[in-house]
A and B are shown apart, each in its own frame.
Chain A
């Protein structure tokens, strides 16, 4: 187990370097960001040169990358164009997005798995069809539409919540955005659980458990659910990273100043320190979440061994 974790952690290094290099190249390929800082005016060459020097943009790409990576290991993620250190942006944005992602993840786990088990056990009944249709609607309608509609009804018409989340973004205010954010994943979790439960419910060990006269509740939770959850956990693990990075739309709608917003600003202003910095942290979250998922397999199914 220990060796497995170490090997997995070592594997992260090339993934990490590759991912940052690709992001760096992509931002660089967008062209020179300094001209845009002058608006519709021709940049003054001397000022433009000073700014390029300040952000290392006057050096060859490989050198920029090495300088950047060198600084990252000392915890310096560079400076955004508005003069703010990127670490400051992160310190504020990541906790907010993490809160949002946790709310979304918990909601999709609890609601998604519950709905999945119910529909899986009652396949073909009316509740199953209803849920299937609803999940189809959620998957088909873009998040943007769901978000703005919910915002208008609950925020403006009913006045239950504020349409915009305050800068501090406490848990309570993030409930609605979290629900909107997780809806699509929730639909997938429901369908994934439903299929998995539907298959396992016909398996031999369930028939044995029923024949032994075990209580229904125990069969469902200990036998059926445990075996049905492996594909779901795989999905949820990958989803944590996706929720944090994919919150751009939701965060825009509800005015949440999290990771999605900062990434969006960074891309719009072609600020490579911001974009690369945030993506670096996102890559780390992705990798760790996947490691966690792989370790969870053994808990769910002891037959899985690590070597």
Chain B
């Protein structure tokens, strides 16, 4: 009894503390940082050093987009590739291109951008000795095999790409190893940026403070902490920044960035944490942005495993696809920041670019009865069950995998037909995928490099394609892709790519799950915030009160 009498004041104390804390709540944070016109945005630590050909993730790409302008730029609204530094890109045979660049452009250190700046940068990016993770972007240029042999032990037999030739200060010629009609449209990717002479003269100094030719120039850069960008006074393009500059702050956790946005210490968060998606609309109102991005999530099948081959394998894949309730998962789990996928591309391409709603047909629609029928027709799942494998260290993959498995189990009326096989780290997961050690379904997300239908198909499904994780191979598909690449007009190319896509929908080496949206939130201090097709904010357009 003694205990209880003494507990009362203790509880009262706790309650009083809680009351004082909540009572003072609702005061609102002071919005620090006055009208200096600088946008304060969240950032993540880039994975590699900031070099155009060595950056393959969003955080580094965000900076490259601000400090570089290449030959083309993808329109922030439509995703269409438009000339930026290119005056013209001409070809007669879809294989040799003559590129003229605009006059008067300068790097932020004042040196002019010439044809040589491009040729030097591309040669650097392609060369094996520089070990750039994105060097495959130069693989279509003639002579790539000599500077970057694919064999593991081979040495480069040439220093420069034989397909690159400087004609004069503002003209250079590119010869590809095969016809590729859409090639000029790929040139908006950051890997094709020009580099100033200082990059080659003092590489370490350049990496400490990269110099480019874009709308912004780096004022100061503390690695893994923050970067301050100011207007590039030498910028030659038309999209000059409408603000005084951008301060990128590295956040160790995007939840903290979101809290900082709420407290008024930050202007822009371009990745709303999954746990806040449910509240974001209520918290931010029209300052919450949720729009399509060029990302599609799929699960692939190990086509190298005999269980998944042949006609029965195809029926199994179709059945599994129809057993997944995409609508429910995207609305409940993702609060409509994903859209059920009905083809293998992305809505950001637009219809003229090759996106076709419903191309996948009824295979991608939820029909549990038909799913059960198809799987029974195929003789049941191999061994009576199937697994979904993915890394679970990032991206809250565990949740959707559980949801997909539940959906399959419900459709098949079997509680253990589908199980999740979590892998601890991304590296381990990728190693297993590389080594073809998968036995069931596994996660294969794809974020586009450039808004082209080619990019959603060729790397993923072409025989031995650079991201063909399922090991899929179809002569018919390959032929159609080859023919589309040498088509003389863009429309013709897109049509043929869609024909190739129909073969994928038929063979189904991967099942489309959903298209991913980009999400962002901003403060009341900034306006005109939007995301481009890569779900990166268009910083130049942002205005500050």
A residues lining the B interface (CB < 8 Å): 30-33, 35-47, 49-51, 54, 81-84, 88-89, 92, 124-126, 128-130, 132-134, 137, 148, 151-153, 155-159, 162-164, 167, 251-257, 261-262, 264-265, 268-270
A137 to B502, CA, bound (A): 60
Contact of B132 among A47, A81, A156, A157 (CB under 8 A): A47
CB interface residues, B 287-339, toward A, < 8 Å: none
| A-contacting 9-mer, from B143-151, B485-493, B531-539 | B143-151
A86 to B266, CA, bound (A): 29
Q: Are A45 and B150 in contact (CB under 8 A)?
A: yes
Q: Which residues of A contact B32 (CB under 8 A)?
A: 162
Q: Which residues of A contact B286 (CB under 8 A)?
A: none
Contact of A158 among B24, B49, B265 (CB under 8 A): B24
Q: Are B425 and A163 in contact (CB under 8 A)?
A: no
Q: Which residues of B contact A257 (CB under 8 A)?
A: 224-225, 250, 252
Q: Are A46 and B154 in contact (CB under 8 A)?
A: yes
Q: Are B431 and A35 in contact (CB under 8 A)?
A: yes
Q: Are A31 and B427 in contact (CB under 8 A)?
A: yes
Q: Which residues of A contact B467 (CB under 8 A)?
A: 40-42
B434 within 8 A of A: yes
Contact of A38 among B46, B133, B425, B469 (CB under 8 A): B133
Q: Are A83 and B256 in contact (CB under 8 A)?
A: no
Interchain pairs with CB closer than 8 A, number: 203
Known: A35-B434, A126-B10, A252-B256. A50 touches B26 (CB 8 A): no
Q: Are B48 and A42 in contact (CB under 8 A)?
A: no
A157 to B10, CA, bound (A): 26
Contact of A167 among B151, B207, B225 (CB under 8 A): B225
A269 to B249, CA, bound (A): 20
Known: A41-B56, A46-B149. A164 touches B251 (CB 8 A): yes
B221 to chain A, nearest CB (A): 12
Known: A44-B150, A133-B10. A89 touches B224 (CB 8 A): yes
The 3 closest A-B pairs by CB, nearest first: A159-B29, A83-B49, A36-B427
B residues lining the A interface (CB < 8 Å): 2-3, 6-7, 9-11, 13-14, 21-22, 24-30, 32, 45-49, 56-57, 128-129, 131-133, 135-136, 148-154, 207, 222-226, 249-253, 255-257, 259-260, 262-263, 265-266, 393-394, 424-428, 430-431, 434, 444-447, 459, 466-469
A86 to chain B, nearest CB (A): 12
A130 to B21, CA, bound (A): 19
Q: Which residues of B contact A124 (CB under 8 A)?
A: 2, 6
A165 to chain B, nearest CB (A): 9
Q: Which residues of A contact B224 (CB under 8 A)?
A: 82, 84, 89, 92, 257, 262, 265
Known: A40-B467, A47-B132, A255-B256. A158 touches B48 (CB 8 A): no
A130 to B5, CA, bound (A): 11
Q: Are B431 and A31 in contact (CB under 8 A)?
A: yes
24 contacts between A and B (CB under 8 A): A36-B425, A40-B447, A41-B466, A46-B149, A46-B151, A46-B154, A47-B148, A49-B153, A81-B48, A82-B45, A82-B46, A82-B224, A83-B49, A88-B223, A130-B9, A130-B13, A151-B259, A155-B259, A158-B25, A163-B259, A251-B252, A253-B253, A257-B224, A257-B225
Known: A38-B133, A40-B467, A255-B251. A158 touches B27 (CB 8 A): yes
A80 to chain B, nearest CB (A): 9
A35 to B226, CA, bound (A): 28
A262 to B250, CA, bound (A): 13
Q: Are B259 and A164 in contact (CB under 8 A)?
A: yes
Q: Which residues of B contact A264 (CB under 8 A)?
A: 252
B62 to chain A, nearest CB (A): 15
Q: Are B128 and A269 in contact (CB under 8 A)?
A: no
Q: Which residues of B contact A269 (CB under 8 A)?
A: 47, 427
Q: Which residues of A contact B424 (CB under 8 A)?
A: 30
Q: Are A126 and B6 in contact (CB under 8 A)?
A: yes
A162 to B251, CA, bound (A): 14
Output the residue of B135, B263, B431 with the most chain A CB within 10 A: B263
B389 to chain A, nearest CB (A): 14
A303 to B481, CA, bound (A): 86
Q: Which residues of B contact A251 (CB under 8 A)?
A: 252
Q: Are A54 and B131 in contact (CB under 8 A)?
A: yes
Q: Which residues of A contact B22 (CB under 8 A)?
A: 153
Q: Are A30 and B26 in contact (CB under 8 A)?
A: no
Q: Are B430 and A152 in contact (CB under 8 A)?
A: no
Q: Which residues of A contact B459 (CB under 8 A)?
A: 41
CB-nearest residue of chain A relative to B12?
A: A130
Q: Which residues of B contact A157 (CB under 8 A)?
A: 24-29
Q: Are B444 and A40 in contact (CB under 8 A)?
A: yes
A143 to chain B, nearest CB (A): 14
Q: Are B128 and A46 in contact (CB under 8 A)?
A: yes
Known: A252-B256, A255-B256, A261-B252. A156 touches B56 (CB 8 A): no
